[in-house]
Amino acid sequence: VIDLASVETPTGCIDVAQVRANARRVAGYCTDHGLAWRPHVKTHKSTDVARIQLEAGARGLTVATPHEAEVMSEVTDDLLLAYPPVGRTKLERLMDLPERVRLTVGLDSETVVRSLAEASRSAGRTTGILVEIDVGMHRVGVATASECVRIASTVAETDGVDYRGIMFYPGHIRVPLGEQDPLLDELATGLSNVLEALDASGLTPQVVSGGSTPTLWHSHRMPGVTEVRAGTCIFNDRDIAQLDACEPQEIAYTVLARVISTAIPGQAVVDAGSKALAKESFRSGGSGFGVLLDEPEITVRALSEEHGVLDVSASAWRPAVGDLVRIVPNHVCVSVNLQDHLIALENDHTSQWSLPGRGRQRYTPA
Ligand SMILES: Cc1ncc(COP(=O)(O)O)c(C=O)c1O
């Protein structure tokens, strides 16, 4: 039995055996379908968790920031920055990564191709490039196949950068697994058009990088995909469970909190507020900011910075002041980013895992 009396709440908490099992399941799915797994580390920000992913078979890592790249270069030589690096400091930091790092960058403009190529040439490096295409999320990514061909040919003709292929993020597909077919069909049509146009121009991509956790188990249905960047799947959350993209027991991260007040009937208040759980809406439908792992009918009805209000009206469960609860946040990545460290539960004991990937300061490996 794990002794949690000495654990200060609120705190992010992970079940290490489940983290390992999640990593094995994703890596196994990818192997079965001839795909590479390049998990996005924004979910966990931890070199310990990244090592678990790499040991399970992940082929390199995906990062969002130069800081994450600096940190994760400690555990892998193969990084994809899935975010266009704009601004001199970002380019300088990328060029200062250890020489052994094979860096690939996703981008959607010739402006960034030019600045990255210039920085790479001055640093005596070659940076790989994936041209990002928009497949329906309408956030970043070129809107047409011809625009993709135009940028890909610029990359192919420019010294300092190496054209490696394309990437896309299907972040608009946030319906349960069983309802994804029409959206996957639409995605397949758009993606096939781009692939045909690239083939016709002699720019066949080596890498087609895609994937998200809601669509993870359908990645093999996306035409031409060679690698999957799903990251949330290492911990999962309330949203992912609601979309049937994980089983309830595959939720490996919770916020451990203590009940601090039961004074008002029908509710209990815990010490985890928006500064521990994050005030993310329940995107896949429904209300509340989280749910109790062990009492799934109890939701976090309201949040202020340091208080979470549990609605206990739907259950006979009546907690006492001092009771510990484990809350599954709506969106795990933003909750992890609010923690000082993670409490790792493993083999009946607890340890603290650091989160070096948080923050934006330049990171110098020890
Ligand atoms: C560009 C990109 N790739 C991959 C991912 C990982 O997707 P998920 O969090 O659904 O696992 C994200 C998540 O935001 C992303 O923005």
Confidence check: pLDDT of 285 > 90: no
What confidence score (pLDDT) does residue 231 get? 98
What confidence score (pLDDT) does residue 1 get? 65
Confidence check: pLDDT of 207 > 80: yes
| Ligand 1 atom 9, closest CA | 232
How far is it, in rounded angstroms, from Cα 43 to Cα 329? 13
Query: What amino acid is encoded at 106 in this protein?
Result: G
Range 278-303 average pLDDT = 94
- State the distance from the centre of ligand 1 to the C-alpha of 63, rounded, in angstroms: 10
Confidence check: pLDDT of 284 > 90: no
Query: What amino acid is encoded at 274 in this protein?
Result: S
Q: Which of 25, 26, 40, 172 to mutate to test the pocket of ligand 1 (most atoms within 8 A of CB)?
A: 40
How far is it, in rounded angstroms, from Cα 61 to Cα 77? 9
Burial track 168-205 (b if 16+ CB lie within 10 A, e otherwise): bbbebbbbeeeebeebbeebeebbebbbebbeebebeb
CB atoms within 10 A of CB 131: 30
Q: How confident is the model at residue 366 (pLDDT cuts 50, 70, 90)?
A: confident
Range 325-345 average pLDDT = 98
How far is it, in rounded angstroms, from Cα 10 to Cα 294? 17
Does any ligand 1 atom lie closer than 6 A to the CB of residue 52?
Answer: no
Range 272-286 average pLDDT = 93
Range 215-221 average pLDDT = 98
Relative to the CA of 83, which ligand 1 atom is closest?
1
Phi/psi class of residue 266: alpha, beta or left (left: φ > 0; alpha: ψ in -120 to 50)?
Answer: left
pTM, to two decimals: 0.97
35's CB contacts (< 8 A; 6+ apart) are 29, 219, 220, 225, 226, 227, 228
- State the distance from the centre of ligand 1 to the C-alpha of 216, rounded, in angstroms: 11
What confidence score (pLDDT) does residue 2 get? 74
pLDDT in tens, 13-72: 999 999 999 999 999 999 999 999 999 999 999 999 999 999 999 999 999 999 999 999
Q: Which of 25, 222, 232, 233 to mutate to test the pocket of ligand 1 (most atoms within 8 A of CB)?
A: 232
- State the distance from the centre of ligand 1 to the C-alpha of 254, rounded, in angstroms: 20
Confidence check: pLDDT of 205 > 90: yes
Q: Dihedral of CA 153/154/158/160: which sign?
A: negative
Q: What is the mean pLDDT of the chain?
A: 97
Q: How confident is the model at residue 177 (pLDDT cuts 50, 70, 90)?
A: very high
Relative to the CA of 233, which ligand 1 atom is closest?
11
Percent of the chain with pLDDT over 90: 96
User: Do 312 and 266 contact (CB within 8 A), yes or no?
Assistant: yes
- State the distance from the centre of ligand 1 to the C-alpha of 169, rounded, in angstroms: 7
Confidence check: pLDDT of 3 > 90: no
pLDDT in tens, 150-173: 999 999 999 999 999 999 999 999
How far is it, in rounded angstroms, from Cα 164 to Cα 104? 8
Q: How confident is the model at residue 293 (pLDDT cuts 50, 70, 90)?
A: very high
pLDDT in tens, 225-271: 999 999 999 999 999 999 999 999 999 999 999 999 999 999 999 99
